[in-house]
Structures are given as structure tokens and as C-alpha cells.
């Protein structure tokens, strides 16, 4: 089969997980290249993922994108930047099944169609853009035969889609180094350790609300950079030290330190939002009651039993050091938020990561 005819379609499908930051990224020093004002660390959430199919055909007349079944514009700079970066790295591709050959120089004249869906509600604000852009970049690279010329290069491309997306290209614990270069070439994500490094750790996602957030992360952090003195202090004087301590805690599987840093960083991030003018509120009463539950429990035991963190929304990601403690945590949550009926609470336990919906 040659590339001359218009009757062929080449397709690839990929899956990429979401992630939750335990040291938060908040604020950019370059809006176009999405370069952050501080480094960050995340845990990959394997069970919340995006699945993306990318297709190319000479019969396509424009780049098009469908998100969860609905067509959306691909005109945004973020999509364009990712696509352009992968296109510029395209190579000769031979489709093993059909023998179809797409030459390197043909890619610039070919349009792509992208269909992506999440296995979790996009509106729930569980880092859907992170999974989505990581998946897009990975699938496109696969389709176009693009290869990394240095480790982490694709994370610099996913970063152009959404900052937190660069961390979703790896599993386990991941670090996004803010970098120093103006072109962003060293603002890359790398894996700290694989998931099986800390097998006992249990992650519980409490979906407090599936309502869309009022202030997007992109807009929120722009206002914080402009108006919050606390954000500058955080980026310069707090995060650098926490990055070192957090990496060490992860390496040592030191839950007490991990929990202390995770909660403190989430709280400082939300304090920064409150320090922004006008202030931004991402957490709600249910979020705050969950914080109270964990804090009281930890104080009564004298050592951290659990940890919490909240991104730009009210949903909680909770950590427990092992199954036994996780079970106790779930019991306490159910006591605080008793399900009024079976329909009020739906909980999916998948492997070592659980998702639960809270009534209230
Ligand atoms: C609170 O990566 O969504 O989740 O780079 O503008 O797309 P853009 O923002 P985004 O921000 C994530 C912010 C956060 C913290 C984090 O994930 O580190």
C-alpha cells in the first residue's frame, strides 16, 4: 500500500494516568512555554486515566479533536504547540500490519483526528488535563514515530499542553524540575521511584463534588503570581527545602514525614489562594471537615496516621501507610458522612487505590 491513495487511515491508541501533587506547582514564570516558578512532586493515580486514539489519513482536511464524545476546537495554542513539537520530530513510519509507509516529509501535510475520553468525570477536577495532554503527546509520538533525543524530552512537550501533564508520563512518584533555561529544555519531569517502591501506601480519592471549579488553575495561578506575596515567599524560600525533604521521605518510605509535608504543602497552596486578590476558594465545608478528621486523628495518636491533599478543587486525596490504617480511615469518613441511602455513596475500590463519593 502506498501513501499516494487517499483511502488509508493509520491509528494508534494510548492510555495515560492522572496525578496528584504532594508538593504543588502554582505559578508560571513563562505563560507560553508553561515554565513554573517552583519544582513539584506528584504521585501517579493509575486508576484515573485518559484513553486517546489518534488517527491520520490523507482524506482528513483539518486537525480535529473529540473530548468524551464531543468535538472541541483544536485551535488553542496548547494543542497546537504539542502537535507542532511532535510533528517536527516525526520519522519514517512503517505500519507492521499493512506495510503502509508514511515518509518523514509527509507528516507536515497530514492532519490528525484525536478522540480522547476519561474513565472519571472530567468535571470532578481530578487533573483531567494532566492525563489528557500526557496521553495526547504519547499517542502522537507513537503514531508519528517520534523519539526522545534526551530522557524526559516528551515531558517538555506534554508540559506545553498543561504544566501538570509532564508528570503524568511516568508512574510512581514523579518530580518536575522547574529548570533554569529560558527555552524550557531543562524543565522536565523524571521518575523518583516506581510505584512498587512503596507497595503498602494506600491512596483514597474522596470525590466531594463533581461540579466544575469556578476558577481554572491556569487563571487562578496567574492572579496569584500577580497579587500574592505569600506565593513569592513559598516559591523562593519554602518549596526548595520541601522538595529535598519530600524526596528523602519517599526514598525512605517515611510515612510520618511524607504525611507532614503533604498536608503542609496542600495547606500552604490553599493559603496562597486565599492570599490572592480577589481570593480564590477551592475547598468547601466537606473538604475542611475531612482535614479536621485527619488532623484530630493524627493528634490523638501522636503520629500521622493519614495525610490529605487538595488540588484546585474540593476533592480530597487521602493517604494511609497500609491497608489496616486505610480501613480505619474509611470507617471514620463513613462515620462523619453516613450514607443516607445506598445511592448516596458509591465507592469503587480498585487495587490499592479507592475512589469514594461523599454525600454532602
Ligand atoms: C493545583 O497543570 O492544571 O493541580 O499549567 O495552567 O495547565 P496549567 O495548570 P495545571 O495546574 C495544576 C495545579 C495544581 C497543582 C499541581 O498539580 O501541581
Q: In sequence order, what are the residues at sequence separation of 6 or more whose Cβ sits closer than 8 angstroms to the Cβ of residue 90?
A: 104, 107, 108, 144, 145, 146
State the average pLDDT over residues 192-213. 87
Give the cell for residue 298: 493524627
Q: How confident is the model at residue 207 (pLDDT cuts 50, 70, 90)?
A: confident
pLDDT per residue over 252-263, tens digit each? 999 999 999 999
Residue nearest (by alpha carbon) to ligand 1 atom 1: 311
Separation of alpha carbons 136 and 116, rounded Å: 8
Burial (Cβ within 10 Å: 0-12, 13-18, ≥19) of residue 270: buried
pLDDT per residue over 19-45, tens digit each? 999 999 999 999 999 999 999 999 999
Give the cell for residue 42: 506528584
State the average pLDDT over residues 160-187. 97
Most informative mutation of 39, 77, 81, 217 for ligand 1 (most atoms within 8 A of CB): 217
Structure pTM?
A: 0.94
pLDDT per residue over 95-154, tens digit each? 998 899 999 999 999 999 999 999 876 555 566 789 999 999 999 999 999 999 999 999
Return the DSSP state at 359: P
| Pocket around ligand 1 at a 6 A CB cut-off | 21, 24-26, 34, 40, 129, 162-164, 217-218, 311-312
DSSP string, 268-289: HHHHHHHTSSS------HHHHH
Return the DSSP state at 212: P
pLDDT per residue over 1-25, tens digit each? 445 567 899 999 999 999 999 999 9
Q: How far is the CA of 110 from the centre of ligand 1 (A)?
A: 31
Amino acid at each position: 500500500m502506498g501513501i499516494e491513495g487517499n483511502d488509508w487511515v493509520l491509528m494508534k491508541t494510548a492510555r495515560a494516568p492522572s496525578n496528584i501533587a504532594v508538593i504543588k506547582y502554582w505559578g508560571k514564570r513563562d505563560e507560553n512555554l508553561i515554565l513554573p516558578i517552583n519544582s513539584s512532586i506528584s504521585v501517579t493515580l493509575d486508576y484515573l486515566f485518559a484513553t486517546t486514539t489518534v488517527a491520520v489519513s490523507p482524506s482528513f482536511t483539518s486537525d480535529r479533536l473529540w473530548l468524551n464524545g464531543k468535538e472541541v476546537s483544536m485551535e488553542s495554542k496548547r494543542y497546537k504547540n504539542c502537535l507542532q513539537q511532535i510533528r517536527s520530530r516525526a520519522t519514517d513510519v512503517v505500519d507492521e500490519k499493512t506495510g503502509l509507509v508514511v515518509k518523514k516529509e509527509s507528516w507536515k501535510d497530514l492532519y490528525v483526528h484525536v478522540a480522547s475520553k476519561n474513565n472519571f468525570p472530567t468535571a470532578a477536577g481530578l487533573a483531567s488535563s494532566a492525563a489528557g495532554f500526557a496521553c495526547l503527546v504519547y499517542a502522537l509520538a507513537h503514531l508519528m514515530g517520534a523519539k526522545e533525543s534526551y530522557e524526559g524530552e516528551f515531558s517538555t512537550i506534554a508540559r506545553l499542553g498543561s504544566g501538570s501533564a509532564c508528570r503524568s508520563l511516568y508512574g510512581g512518584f514523579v518530580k518536575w524540575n522547574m529548570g533554569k533555561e529560558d527555552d524550557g529544555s531543562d524543565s522536565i519531569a523524571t521518575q523518583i521511584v516506581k510505584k512498587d517502591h512503596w507497595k503498602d501506601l494506600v491512596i483514597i480519592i474522596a470525590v466531594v463534588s463533581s461540579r466544575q471549579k469556578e476558577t481554572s488553575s491556569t487563571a487562578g495561578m496567574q492572579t496569584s503570581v500577580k497579587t500574592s506575596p505569600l506565593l513569592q515567599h513559598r516559591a523562593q524560600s519554602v518549596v526548595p527545602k520541601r522538595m529535598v525533604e519530600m524526596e528523602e521521605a519517599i526514598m525512605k518510605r517515611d510515612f510520618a514525614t511524607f504525611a507532614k509535608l503533604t498536608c503542609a504543602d496542600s495547606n500552604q497552596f490553599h493559603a496562597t489562594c486565599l492570599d490572592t486578590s480577589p481570593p480564590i476558594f477551592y475547598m468547601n465545608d466537606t473538604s475542611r471537615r475531612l482535614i479536621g478528621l485527619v488532623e484530630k486523628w493524627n493528634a490523638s495518636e501522636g503520629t500521622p496516621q493519614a495525610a490529605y491533599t487538595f488540588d484546585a478543587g474540593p476533592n480530597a486525596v487521602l493517604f494511609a501507610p497500609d491497608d489496616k490504617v486505610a480501613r480505619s480511615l474509611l470507617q471514620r469518613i463513613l462515620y462523619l458522612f453516613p450514607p443516607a441511602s445506598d445511592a448516596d455513596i458509591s465507592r469503587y475500590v480498585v487495587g490499592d487505590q479507592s475512589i469514594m463519593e461523599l454525600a454532602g
